[in-house]
A and B are shown apart, each in its own frame.
Chain A
């Protein structure tokens, strides 16, 4: 039992880092611009497919492809912001919700037409380290490392650079930030781009673990919402911790009951937290 718990918990936590990475994107976009990005899951899948295409067509290793995907997704984020989100940014939540949902449907629609819904795999050789009952797979370890590095990078960006400070200022008070000469459009576009980038990067990493289809995003997006609530909405570092909590739950629950219970418990918890502490476990506000 202890051995199984240890193995299962490790698997869950390693996965949790990547969940966390993806949810930071969701959390950042909400925190800065109060937009619930329903294209989050679809963006993750774009990251997966970018990895797949670069790997299968050009033989580029997923880890080498990651910087390319990061740049492309940042640009894609700007594009989505400028075309779909910016014009409705000051409208009620429902408008931005629908705008991002429309983007989601477009990605899925075009993706289904181009790629079909056939499962894809990025087949790279997987090394393993055996530590007692725990088998650590190289893909998971590298993904964890990358998730930590990206989180640190995001933290540095937000707290140590001018654009980062602008993002935080806009998040805090958009009107006041604008009065201080900060361009709201540029800052919001950057935030949306960063959020999109985080989702795509997480997708690119997940592509090295699991097979995926163009429709895989929905499941990860739902997890993303739970994680954001766990970690506190609008708090990117909280999202990483939320991801770890969710990963740990996914590791621990199956040891004691059927795996089918995992989503039930996750969502019961989700509702409970919303009831007791709507700003999330680590939510400051």
Chain B
């Protein structure tokens, strides 16, 4: 017995070792991090009559976690890449404060494994051990909701990106600012698009992931669709991590809807689309959350064709200095084309909206620091509260009411559909809103 127990003890220790090996936090990327100069670059030798005071360089630490593993890996990677591009660009010059201080930025980041508990541990670590000055959210509403509590408790400003759920911003937080169009406005455009394409369509089936974000989205979409006279013939949630959608697909086939809406995140959404194709589900219109705008969605091949998805941003977006002027708001940052080409040059692919959101998170924080002329949390918060700006990512303005402080009020969604170009290759086209579309929507889907 004692011998058996010893063996078990040894095995358990080995297992614990193996686990601790994989739970080790990923160190912050250093590739994009510039050296921290203590003095400005050597100027051309000039005969200066009076020596100027040496500008002080301050390094601001921005902390966030990204999902390098787990179900959120794909969109989270895009988001992090957007942030890294911003870091590289901003650190080329730095931000100069009114007192002459040059501010440079540094990232501290860990892998949250797409896991809420990890997120809370890691944000606490970021604040306490890594001494962050500002925070960016992880990717996804669930993870961000977990992180936002920590940011608020420790009194640090958090710009959230990749987190659309409305609920996080209705908890009385004062320091959490949302860049994404909230979930409540995520699929309502798809309902409008359906109405435009086919006034005779009446039945919608909604099958969605049972998580915070997707539930918020579909509840709002359901209410909106019903107010427009649609009949919701199926409304059912699936657990995060579902891989077998057959029971739902059989229900959808039974309900014979005109349109299917729902989904959740990337992994489940692409599997759902793939299995609907395998089963040849006959619906005229399919709109799913999150997965379709990702370029990797095309990996499911023919199953991607015709699928519509709401997107926070697309490279075809028509935001410009001229449109800022027309709307009467300030323009800030690079043009859409400059952002896209810089991203492409760095990563060799077009940015998806998660990447644009990540980039915008950095950009908006930079703008707020410039507006505040200070790194003081209260002043930067005031600048964010007052902000109304158009960037390559779109318009950004935060709700400043007590009930929903930080909720995004100005940013708009676009809707993409996977179509085929002349050579038969799958391409994303913007099909809604009408004024921003790059192609007409394919309707009805024929399978």
Q: Mark A241-267, 1 if CB is under 8 A from B, else 0.
A: 000000000110011001110100000
List chain B residues, Cβ under 8 A from A106: 11, 14-15, 18
Of A103, A116, A130, A254, the contact of B73 (CB 8 Å cutoff): A116
Chain B min CB distance to A230 (Å): 19
Are the C-beta atoms of B73 and A260 separated by less than 8 Å?
no
Does B338 touch A at the CB level, under 8 Å?
no
Segment touching B, from A51-59, A163-171, A183-191, A206-214 = A206-214
Does A135 touch B at the CB level, under 8 Å?
yes
Segment touching B, from A4-12, A24-32, A67-75 = A4-12
List chain A residues, Cβ under 8 A from B1: 91-92, 95
Task: Count chain A residues whose beta carbon lies closer than 8 angstroms to a beta carbon of B.
Answer: 50
Q: A87-B3, A99-B7, A128-B280 are in contact. Are A11 and B246 (CB under 8 A)?
A: yes
Does B47 touch A at the CB level, under 8 Å?
no
Are the C-beta atoms of B11 and A99 separated by less than 8 Å?
yes
Segment touching B, from A107-115, A148-156, A195-203, A272-280 = A107-115
Does A82 touch B at the CB level, under 8 Å?
no
Q: Mark B1-28, 1 if CB is under 8 A from A, else 0.
A: 1011101100110111111011000000
Does B69 touch A at the CB level, under 8 Å?
yes
Task: Count chain B residues whose beta carbon lies closer than 8 angstroms to a beta carbon of A.
Answer: 44
Q: Mark A96-128, 1 if CB is under 8 A from B, else 0.
A: 001100111110111011001111000100101
Question: In this complex, what residue of B is CB-closest to A263?
Answer: B239
Of B16, B246, B248, B267, the contact of A211 (CB 8 Å cutoff): B267
- In the bound assembly, the distance between CA atoms of A113 and B21 in angstroms comes to 7
Does B346 touch A at the CB level, under 8 Å?
no
Does A282 touch B at the CB level, under 8 Å?
no
Q: Mark B257-277, 1 if CB is under 8 A from A, else 0.
A: 000000000010001000000
Are the C-beta atoms of B11 and A84 separated by less than 8 Å?
yes
Does B294 touch A at the CB level, under 8 Å?
no
Are the C-beta atoms of B71 and A119 separated by less than 8 Å?
yes
Of B4, B17, B68, B251, the contact of A254 (CB 8 Å cutoff): B251
Does A179 touch B at the CB level, under 8 Å?
no
Are the C-beta atoms of A254 and B250 separated by less than 8 Å?
yes
- In the bound assembly, the distance between CA atoms of A212 and B244 in angstroms comes to 11
Question: In this complex, what residue of B is CB-closest to A257?
Answer: B236
List chain B residues, Cβ under 8 A from A84: 7, 11
Does A177 touch B at the CB level, under 8 Å?
no
Chain B min CB distance to A140 (Å): 9
Question: Footprint of B on A, CB under 8 Å?
Answer: 1, 3-4, 7-8, 11, 15, 84, 87-88, 91-92, 95, 98-99, 102-106, 108-110, 112-113, 116-119, 123, 126, 128, 130, 133, 135, 137, 209-213, 216, 250-251, 254-255, 258-260, 262
